[in-house]
Amino acid sequence: MNDVSAFPLEISGSPAPMVSFRKVTKSYGALTVLDELDLDIAAGEMVSIIGPSGSGKTTVLRMLMTLEQINGGVIYVDGQPLTHMPKNGMLVPASQKHLRKRRADIGMCFQHFNLFPHMTALENCMEGPVQVLGLSKTEARERSEELLEMVGMIGKKDQHPSRLSGGQQQRVAIARALAMRPKVMLFDEVTSALDPEVIGEVTNVIRKLVSEHNLTMLMVTHQMGFARDISDRVCFFYGGKIEEQGPPAELFGNPKKERTQQFLSAVKEAI
């Protein structure tokens, strides 16, 4: 039983963190994937999560996107509880309605893109704005074309995903997520399924987002160089906990914990 009576109904403070994990636990049966995770992400901050596979990195994003339910603790987004909702002055597990309302702040890009195969690139981007936000087709098309332009895919807007390369599909997927105007963007190993020569076209789009937009971003990645370049902060996950975190220069340049050192040197050897 997840006792949340000790958690606040909302997070105030100036400025309040955009995302806040408070003692969040996730387990599958006897296997604990995340163990009382505490993580605050400030508005506009770019945080990268690195770590060995099975360390719970992706689970963090999936819980925030509400694709997975948590077993303990509370997640807050923009000061308001996401996994729970206030009722009679107490936090109770979120209803579907509450989840739909709070989920609107969050967008996600997946390792395998997950574009809708029966829609063109443009239709993929327009689907959410029209069907979920209730925009007119004209407004949705305008917004989507602007974003496809931004990710460099306007020339392929009428192509179905099957006609696009992995890098192109991922760029469309980024545009599709941005079309919903989320406050928080999640990137789940977005370059892991790509051929090496097209990784750059996706990372360049993310770089552009970091420099030109004030989005809060959380990224799980195996691209250490990329994480080092663009993150405000890097978290090294190990065994369902944050083993070490800090500014990229510090974490990559002078890791304090032995496990971080081992992981980073193992990664270096692989290159």
Partner 1 sequence: MSTFDFLVLYWPRLLSGTGITIAQFLLAAVLGVAVSLCMGLLKLSHNPVLRGAAVTYIEVFRGTSLVVQLYWIFFVLPLFGLSIEKFTAGYVAVGLNIGAYGAELVRGGILSVPKGQWEAALAINMSPAKRMRRIILPQALVNMLPPWGNLMIELLKGTALVSLISVADLMFEARQINASTYLSAQTFGVALIIYYILSRFMVTPFMRWLERHMARKLGKA
Applying CB under 8 A, the residues found at the interface with partner 1 are 65-67, 100, 103-104, 106-108, 110, 112, 114-118, 120, 127-128, 131-132, 159-163, 173, 176-177, 180
For residue 146, the minimal CB distance to partner 1 (Å) is 17
For residue 218, the minimal CB distance to partner 1 (Å) is 14
Q: Please say which residue, 81 or 107, places its beta carbon nearer to partner 1.
A: 107
For residue 88, the minimal CB distance to partner 1 (Å) is 27
Q: Please say which residue, 113 or 236, places its beta carbon nearer to partner 1.
A: 113
Does 15 sit behind a cis peptide bond, omega within 30 degrees of 0 on the bond before it? yes
For residue 250, the minimal CB distance to partner 1 (Å) is 32
For residue 24, the minimal CB distance to partner 1 (Å) is 19
Tokens of 269: 């050897």
Are the C-beta atoms of 46 and 232 separated by less than 8 Å? yes
Residues forming beta bridges with residue 106, ordered by sequence position: 184
Instruction: Tell the residue number behind the tokens 């403070």, with chain if given.
Output: 13
Q: Please say which residue, 112 or 241, places its beta carbon nearer to partner 1.
A: 112
Helix, coil or strand: residue 226: helix
- Number of Cβ within 10 Å of residue 138's Cβ equals 8
- Number of Cβ within 10 Å of residue 116's Cβ equals 12
Residues forming beta bridges with residue 87, ordered by sequence position: 90
Q: Please say which residue, 126 or 242, places its beta carbon nearer to partner 1.
A: 126
Q: Please say which residue, 119 or 154, places its beta carbon nearer to partner 1.
A: 119
For residue 174, the minimal CB distance to partner 1 (Å) is 12
Task: Please name which of 109, 115, 108, 112 lies closest in space to residue 192, comparing C-alpha atoms.
Answer: 112
Q: Please say which residue, 11 or 186, places its beta carbon nearer to partner 1.
A: 186
Tokens of 150: 């931004």
Task: Please name which of 194, 203, 218 lies closest in space to residue 107, comparing C-alpha atoms.
Answer: 218
